[in-house]
């Protein structure tokens, strides 16, 4: 199956928002539930990768990224192994390359909610 690409700046927003939907528009929760989960679920069922492109947005709060990616493990029952296989974070801008590492940390340091 072909890789599915999500360019956050062009497919979701150039202005990523806060953590929760109740806090404001274009939140990490909204991105996770409306963009990430459908594609990851598809990739789990049929193979392939989900490629996330971070370039071009006006900054990401750690709250947005933690909720979007850490929340997949904490709240949505995806496993770290699954996400390691399926998710590819792509960054061209050297100034924001550290965000790919942060996302990996959010996924690896999060435990599923009891």
Partner 1 sequence: MADSSKSGKLIDALERIANEHLPDSSVDFDRLASAVLEGITNTKQHAYPAELAKSFRFTERWWATGVIDKAERRVSAIIYDQGASIPDTIMRAPWFPALVDAAKRLTSWGNFENDDGALIAGAMAVGRSKTRLSHRGKGLADMESFMRTCSKGRLSVLSRNGEYVSYAAGDATRFTHSSPIRGTLVQWDVWV
Calpha distance 34→83 (Å, rounded): 17
Among 8, 70, 89, 103, binds partner 1 (CB under 8 A): 70
**Is 16 among the residues that bind partner 1 (CB under 8 A)?**
yes
Among 50, 52, 53, 57, binds partner 1 (CB under 8 A): 57
**Is 29 among the residues that bind partner 1 (CB under 8 A)?**
no
Closer residue to partner 1 (CB): 44 or 96: 96
Element (H, E) at 44: helix 37-46
**Is 26 among the residues that bind partner 1 (CB under 8 A)?**
yes
- In the complex, what is the shortest distance from the CB of residue 62 to partner 1, in angstroms, rounded to a whole number? 6
Other beta carbons within 10 angstroms of residue 74's beta carbon come to 17
Calpha distance 50→43 (Å, rounded): 7
Closer residue to partner 1 (CB): 16 or 103: 16
Among 10, 23, 47, 84, binds partner 1 (CB under 8 A): 23
The backbone torsions φ and ψ at residue 65, rounded to the nearest 5 degrees and listed phi first, read -70, -40
Residues in the chain, overall count: 114
- Rounded-to-10 torsion of CA 58, 17, 96, 53: -90
Query: Which residues contact partner 1 by CB under 8 A?
Result: 13-19, 23-26, 57-63, 66-67, 70, 74, 95-96, 106, 109-110
């Amino acid at each position: 199956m072909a890789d599915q690409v999500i360019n956050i700046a062009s497919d979701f927003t150039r202005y990523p928002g806060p953590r929760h939907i109740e806090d404001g528009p274009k939140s990490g929760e909204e991105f996770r539930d409306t963009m990430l989960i459908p594609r990851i679920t598809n990739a789990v069922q049929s193979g392939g990768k989900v490629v996330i492109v971070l370039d071009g947005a006006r900054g990401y709060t750690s709250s947005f990224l933690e909720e979007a990616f850490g929340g997949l493990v904490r709240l949505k029952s995806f496993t770290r192994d699954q996400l390691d296989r399926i998710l590819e974070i792509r960054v061209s801008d050297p100034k924001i390359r550290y965000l790919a590492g942060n996302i990996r940390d959010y996924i690896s340091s999060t435990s599923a909610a009891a």
